[in-house]
Chains A and B, each alone.
Chain A
Amino acid sequence: MAITTGSGPSAGEDATTRERNLPPGEIVEKRAPRGRTARFFEAWPPSVLLALGWILAMLFIAAFVEILAAYSYTAMDLRARLTPPVFWGGTDVRHLLGTDELGRDVLSRLLYSIRMSLLIAFFGTLIAATLGTFLGILAAHFRGWVEDVVLMAIDFQASMPFLIIALAVLAFFGNSLILFICLMGFHGWERYARISRGLAISANEQGYAGAVRQLGAPAWRIYGRHILPNIASTLIVSMTLAFPETILLESGLSFLGLGVQPPLTSLGNMVGYGREYITRAPWIMLAPSVIIILTTLSISIVGDWLRDRLDPTLK
C-alpha cells in the first residue's frame, strides 16, 4: 500500500471514520445528497486530473514540436547570448525563457528535449515490458532449468544498481542513440518478468487456460490470446509506475554527459550543461528541472491512481 497521492482511497476512508461517530440515521442523510460533481471528483480526484492534463500537454508538445518551437534546437544567435527570461528581468520577447551560452533559445530547446526524453523513456519502458513479460512467460511455461536461469537473472538484475551496469555498458560499447534506448530497455525488466511469471503460473492453473489447451491450441495462442489479455492490466500499471524511473535514469545519465549526446538535446542534457552557468544563467538549468519534476510527478500520480482502480493486488 504505497499511496503517494494521498487523495484517492483515503477520501473514502475519511468518510467511514467520520460516519462511525455519527448516529446511524445521519449516515443515510449524509450520503444521499452527494451531487454529481462530488461523485465525479471522487472517481477522478483533482490531482489526477491535473496530472493527466500535464501529461497530455507534454504529449502534445512532443507530437507537434516542429510547429510549436520558434527556433531549431541548434539555431544560435550569438548577439543574444545568456539573455534572461522575460519574467527574470529580460527584455527580449523573442526568447521567452531566455537563451543559453550560444544564444540558443531555451524554450525551443526545452520543447525538443521533452520530445527526446519522452521518446527514450517510452521505448525504454516498452522494450523492458516486452522483454520482461516474454521471459516471465517463458519461465512459467517451461519451468525446470529455464525458470531457474530466468530467476537467477532476475536476482542478479535486482541486486545490482542499474546505473552502474548502464555505465559499464556505455564504457564498453561507446554511445549511440539506438544503443542508449536499448540500454534503457534493460532497466526494470525483472519486475515485469517477476509479475508475469507469477500471473502466468496461476493463470495456467485456472480453467480457461486448461480449456483452450484441451481444445488443442498451441502454446503461443494460449499465452498471446488468452493469458496475456488477462494479465495486461497489471502489466500496464507496472509500466506506468516504471515510466518516471526511466525518465529519471535517462536524465541522470544525460546529465553526466553519458546519455544523449550533443547536438541532440534531452532534459537531463540541458540540466548538465546549464550547471556550468548556474551563477550567471540559472534559468538554463531550472527550466528543464521543473519539467522533469512535474512530468515524473504527474505520471506517478496517474500510475498510483490506475493501480488503485485497476489492480488492487499490486503493491
Chain B
Amino acid sequence: MLRYLSTRLVRALLTICFVVTFAFVILRLSGDPALLILSPDAPPEAIEAFRKSWGLDRPLWEQYFHYFAAIAEGNLGRSMRDGRPALDLVLERVPATLALTIPALILKIGIGIPAGIYAALNRNKLADRLTMLFSVAGFTVPSFVLGLVLVLIFAVNLGWLPSGGSDSWVHGILPIITLGTAGAAVLARFTRSAMLEVLGQPYIRTASAKGLAWRRVVVDHALPNAAIPTVTIVGFMVGSLVAGAVVVESVFSWPGVGRLLVVAVANRDLAVVQTILLFVALTMVCANLTVDMLYGWIDPRLRTRRVAGAG
C-alpha cells in the first residue's frame, strides 16, 4: 500500500512539474513577454529594465529555475489589467465558483449514481430506456444551450428566476441545474455501464446460485465492484470543481473563476491565465491522489498486490 501510494505521489509531483514547464514553455514561445506586457512602442530603456527585473536577459535554463522558484514562493505575477497579484484575484473568485459547483456536484451524485444503478438493475425496461434517453440528451446538449434554454423558459417567458448575476441564492438556481443535469447524465451512463459489467461477472452468478437474496447480491457484491470505476469519474468531477463551470459561469454572468479565466484569455492577461492553469492542475492532482487512496480502501486487492508500473 505504501509503495502504491508513493508511486502515485511521485506521479502527482511530476504532473505538477509538467504543467509548470508547459506554462513556462508556452509563455516563452508566445513571444517576448516584455513586448507583450509593455506596448511595443514603449521606450527601449523601459523594455530593457523590464527584461532585467524579470530576469529575461539571463540564459533560458536560469530563467526556468527562477520561474520554478517564484512559483514555489507563490509569486505568480501581477494582473496586467489592475496590477494586483494574480493569485489574490483568483483566490477571491474561488468561493463564488464553489457556491455553484458544490451544490451541482451533490446534484450530479444524488441523481446520476442512483439512476445509473436503477437502470442497470432494470435493463431494457422502461426506466432504463428513460434513463438512457436522459443521459444521451445530457451528452449531446451543450451546457450553454441548456443554460440559455432554461433562461428563455424560466427567466424570459415565465419570469420566475433571474437570468444572470449573483445577488442572491435565487440567482444560483439556474446555473446549478444546468451544471448538475449535464453531469448527472454523464454519471448515470457511466454508473450504468459499470454496473452492467459487474453484473455479468461469474461471481455474481455464484452469489445468486448459492441462494443469496438478490438484494444482498447487489449490495454486497455488485455495488462495491462497480464503485471502482465510478469513483474515478467522481474524482474527476471533484477535481474540476474550481474550473468546471467556465461555460456556465459565462452564460449566467456569474463572477467566478471561470468567468475570470474567459475575460483574462480575451485580454491576454497572461499572469492570471497561468495562475488559473496551475490552480486547476493542483486541484486535479489532489483529487486524483484522493481517488487513488480511495481505491486502496474500496479495493482490498490493491492493498496487498505489489504495484509495479500499474496505472
Q: Which residues of A contact B (CB under 8 A)?
A: 1-6, 10, 13-14, 17, 151-152, 155-156, 159-161, 163-165, 167-174, 244, 248, 251-252, 255-258, 268, 271-272, 275, 278-279, 282, 285, 289, 292-293, 296-297, 300, 315
Contact = CB atoms under 8 A, between A and B. Distances in A.
Contacts of A172: 26-27, 29-30, 268, 270, 273
A17 B244 CA distance: 43
Contacts of B145: 271, 289, 292-293
B144 A271 contact: yes
Given A300-B139, A300-B140, A161 B284 contact: yes
B141 interface: yes
B266 A278 contact: no
B142 A168 contact: no
A256 B19 CA distance: 24
A255 B148 CA distance: 12
B137 to A, nearest CB: 8
A257 B263 CA distance: 10
Contact of A256 (B193, B247, B277): B247
Given A161-B243, A256-B250, 10 more contacts: A5-B136, A155-B311, A171-B264, A244-B139, A251-B144, A256-B262, A258-B266, A278-B156, A300-B139, A315-B197
Contacts of B14: 152
B246 interface: yes
Contacts of B246: 163-164, 167, 256
B285 interface: yes
A32 to B, nearest CB: 24
A275 B251 contact: yes
Interface stretch (B127-135, B166-174, B211-219, B296-304): B127-135
A160 B281 contact: yes
A297 B262 contact: no
Contacts of A161: 240, 243-244, 280, 284
B244 A251 contact: no
B307 to A, nearest CB: 15
A244 B311 CA distance: 28
B228 interface: no
Nearest to B135: A4
16 contacts: A2-B193, A3-B193, A6-B128, A6-B132, A6-B133, A160-B280, A161-B280, A163-B246, A167-B265, A171-B270, A173-B26, A174-B268, A255-B142, A255-B144, A275-B148, A296-B140
Contacts of A255: 142, 144, 247, 250
Contacts of A256: 246-247, 250, 262
Contact of B276 (A6, A155, A164, A315): A164
A54 B238 CA distance: 37
A252 B144 contact: yes
A169 B143 CA distance: 22
Interface of B: 11, 14-15, 18-19, 23, 26-27, 29-30, 124, 128-129, 132-133, 135-136, 139-145, 148-149, 151-152, 156, 163, 189-190, 192-193, 196-197, 239-240, 243-244, 246-247, 250-251, 261-262, 264-266, 268-270, 273-274, 276-277, 280-281, 284-285, 288, 311
A159 B136 contact: no
Given A152-B14, A256-B262, A271-B145, A168 B23 contact: yes
B246 to A, nearest CB: 6
Nearest to A315: B193
A240 B281 CA distance: 29
B262 A160 contact: no
Contact of A159 (B29, B261, B284): B284
A274 B274 CA distance: 31
A252 B247 contact: yes
A152 B266 CA distance: 31
B15 A156 contact: yes
Given A164-B243, A293-B141, A4 B262 contact: no
Contacts of A244: 139-140
Given A1-B197, A161-B243, A297 B152 contact: no
A167 B140 contact: no
Contacts of B274: 168
B295 to A, nearest CB: 15
A159 B265 contact: no
Given A275-B148, A289-B149, A4 B270 contact: no
A2 B284 contact: no
B275 to A, nearest CB: 11
Contacts of A268: 142, 144
A198 to B, nearest CB: 14
Contact of B280 (A14, A164, A271, A275): A164
A16 to B, nearest CB: 11
Contacts of B143: 252
Contacts of A300: 136, 139-140
A120 to B, nearest CB: 15
Contacts of B144: 251-252, 255, 268, 271-272
B112 to A, nearest CB: 14
Nearest to B261: A167
A315 B139 CA distance: 16
